[in-house]
Amino acid sequence: MAEHQDLRHAHIVGWGKAVPERVVTNDDLAAMVDTTDEWIRQRTGIIERRIAGDQETTLTLSLEAARRALDAANMDPARLDLVIVATVTPDHAFPATACLVQDALGAEHAAAFDLSAGCSGFIYGLSLAAGLLAGGGYERALVIGAETLSRITDWTDRSTCVLFGDGAGAVVLQAGATPGGVLASVLGADGSGGEVLILPAGGSAHPATAETVAARQHFIRMQGQQVFRFATRIMPEAARQVLLKAGRTVEDVVLFVPHQANDRILQAAAKGLGVPEERMFSNLAHYGNTSSASIPIALCEAIEQGLVQRDDLICCVGFGAGLTWAAAAIQWSLPLPVAVPARPHQAWRWLRYRVARLRSLWRRLWRLVDARLFNIRYDENGRRKYKR
C-alpha cells in the first residue's frame, strides 16, 4: 500500500492553442497552382488552413499557446521546471525555440530544449515530460507542439502545398499522487523510411548554397503513397499497443485524438480500430496538417466542444517524418469546464510577462556591459576573475 501511495502521475492541468489569423482556402490555392477545391476536398478532406503572417513565427505561436495553457492551469510560469517544444520548424537551428519561450515567459527555473520527431513530436515530448515527472525529479512541465510549415512548403507543388498549415498547441503537466493522467505511451521509429518525408537541404549533409536553393531543396518533399500506407498500418497498431500497456481496451476509449494528416488516413484508422468515425476527433478541414501542433490543437478543440470530461480515457496517436510513430493513453483527471481566472489573477499574469520582458532586456544589457567594461580571466579552479 505504501508503495502505491508513493507513485507519481503526470496530469494535464492546462491546455491552450494558437493559430494565425490568415486563412487560406482551397480556392485561394486554386489561383496559385493547378488544383481545385473539389480535388483537394476529395483527396485530403481539407477546406482551409491557417498561414503565419510576416510577424508570426514558431516562437510567437508557441508563446500564445503556452500562455493560454498556463492561464487554464492558473499557474505562474516561474513554477515550471521544464519547457519542451516539439517542432521541425524552429525559429533558429540554435538556440532552441524552447529557450526563447522560457525567457519570454519568465520561467527562470525551467530547463528548456527542442525535440524533433516530425508529426509525432508532441507525443514524444509528452511522454518524456510525463516520465520525468513520474520519476520525481520534476514537478511541472510545459509541452508545446508548434510549426510554421508554410515557411518550408513549396507553393508551386500542388501535391504538398494543399496539405500543410501553421499553428501551436500546448499542455501543462503537473505531478500528483492521484491515479490518472498520462497512463502509458508508446514511441517508435523506422529510419529506413527517412527519405519518404524529408527536407533535403539546410543541414550538415547539404548546407545552404545557391545550388540547393535553385533546386528547391529547402522545401518539404514527400512520397505520398508510401506515407499513406505507413500511416494506415501504424496508427491502429500504435493505439492498440499503448492501450494494452495501460491495461485498457479500444472499447474503453471515449475519444481518439489522432494526428490530423489526411481524412482518408483517419477513416482507415477508425476502420482498423473498429470504432465509429465520430470517436475519431477531426478538425483537419479547417487547419490542414500542422505536424507536431496538430494533436494538441485537436485536443484543445475537443475540450472546447465538451467532448472530454473527468475520468474519460483519451488516446492520442500520430506518425511522422523519421519515420516515427507515437501514442499516449490519458485518463482525464480534471473537472470541466475550468473556471476562468479572476481578474486579479489575470492582471498579475499580465504584469508577470511584462516583468519577464524587462528581466530579459536587463540580462542582455548586462552581458553587453560585462563584455565591454571587464576583461574576464579564470583562475586554476575555473572561477571568474575580473580585471580592468
Q: Residue for cell digits 471515449?
A: 254
Name which of 57, 40, 34 is nearest 288 in CA terms. 40
CB-CB contact of 149 with 220 (8 Å): yes
Name which of 310, 320, 315, 321 is nearest 298 in CA terms. 315
pLDDT string in tens for the chain (388-residue length): 334 446 899 999 999 999 999 999 999 999 999 999 999 999 999 999 999 999 999 999 999 999 999 999 999 999 999 999 999 999 999 999 999 999 999 999 999 999 999 999 999 999 999 999 999 999 999 999 999 999 999 999 999 999 999 999 999 999 999 999 999 999 999 999 999 999 999 999 999 999 999 999 999 999 999 999 999 999 999 999 999 999 999 999 999 999 999 999 999 999 999 999 999 999 999 999 999 999 999 999 999 999 999 999 999 999 999 999 999 999 999 887 776 667 777 777 778 888 888 988 888 888 777 666 666 666 667 676 655 4
What is the SS3 string spanning 84-151? EEECCCCCCCCCCHHHHHHHHHCCCCCEEEEECCHHHHHHHHHHHHHHHHHCCCCCEEEEEEEEEHHH
CB-CB contact of 162 with 192 (8 Å): no
Q: Are strands 384-387 and 166-176 parallel, antiparallel or unpaired?
A: unpaired
Please provide residue 111's backbone torsions phi and psi, each rounded to the nearest 5 degrees. -75, 155
Name which of 298, 250, 233, 7 is nearest 133 in CA terms. 7
Render 226-276 in DSSP notation, one character per residue: HHHHHHHHHHHHHHHHHHHHTT--GGG-SEEEE--S-HHHHHHHHHHHT--
Residues with Cβ < 8 Å from 108, sequence gap 6 or more?
78, 102, 359
pLDDT of the residue at 93: 96
CB hemisphere CA count around 303 (13 angstroms): 25
State how far the alpha carbon of 96 is from the alpha carbons of 37, 89, 102, 219, 269, in Å.
38, 11, 10, 21, 34
Residue extent(s) of CATH 3.40.47.10 domains in the chain: 2-331
pLDDT of the residue at 367: 78
Fold of 2-331: Peroxisomal Thiolase; Chain A, domain 1 (3.40.47)
Render 302-351 in DSSP notation, one character per residue: HHHTT---TT-EEEEEEEETTTEEEEEEEE--S-SSPPPPPHHHHHHHHH
Residues involved in catalysis: 119, 259, 289
Q: Classify residue 382 by its DSSP letter.
A: S
Render 166-224 in DSSP notation, one character per residue: EEEEEEEEEEESSS-EEEEEEEEE-GGGGGGEE--SSSSSS---HHHHHTTTTS-EE-H
Please provide residue 208's backbone torsions phi and psi, each rounded to the nearest 5 degrees. -65, 125
pLDDT of the residue at 261: 97
Here the contacts of 200-207 (C-beta below 8 Å, separation 24 or greater) are none
CB-CB contact of 106 with 355 (8 Å): yes
Q: Distance of alpha carbon 221 from its chain centroid, rounded?
A: 21
CB-CB contact of 316 with 328 (8 Å): yes
pLDDT of the residue at 3: 42
Q: Residue for cell digits 493560454?
A: 68
Q: Residue for cell digits 490542414?
A: 288
Determine the length of the chain. Answer: 388
CB hemisphere CA count around 170 (13 angstroms): 34
Reading phi first (left if > 0) and then psi (alpha if -120 to 50, else beta), residue 25 is in beta
pLDDT of the residue at 351: 84
pTM, full prediction? 0.93
pLDDT of the residue at 64: 98
